[in-house]
Structure 1
Amino acid sequence: MAVPKRKVSKARRDKRRSAVWKLDAPALSRCSNCGELTSPHRVCKNCGFYKGVEVIKKDA
């Protein structure tokens, strides 16, 4: 069984763990119809359009 030869310092340990806690900003793209910010590859919640095609009927 593998056993470490030396103690891993707190700095070295924390540097390795630091990447796990980083948060990414959510990806957003503009709707081609109304210009509202939406998640990419999703139907726009504001107007119901996706790639220039009306997918969901929305009342004006």
Structure 2
Amino acid sequence: MPNPKHRHSKARRDRRRAHDHLAQPPQSLCPHCFQPKLPHRVCPHCGMYEGRQVLNVEEI
């Protein structure tokens, strides 16, 4: 297998890695309290999932 003959600069390495960052997870709105939440998960603000109360969330 061929090996690199010269070292690549840090700038060249960083340009290659420019698109390796993590994407923001998708968000949807809770139909009950209209707060953003992850899809297919219990709403952390009101505790509702699929139109029923699943989690008891205390108001602070």
TM-score (norm 2): 0.60
Structure 1 residue 50: Cα displacement = 0.9
Q: Is the 8 A contact 1:31 1:38 kept in 2?
A: yes
Q: In the alignment, which residue of structure 2 is the partner of 1:18?
A: 18
Residue of structure 2 in register with 1:4 after alignment = 4
Structure 1 runs (4+) greater than 4 angstroms displaced: none
CA distance in 2, matches of 1:23, 1:16: 15
Percent sequence identity is 44
Q: Structure 1: which 5+ residue stretches go unaligned?
A: none
SS at match of 1:47: coil
How many Å separate the matches in 1 of 2:15 and 2:34?
A: 41
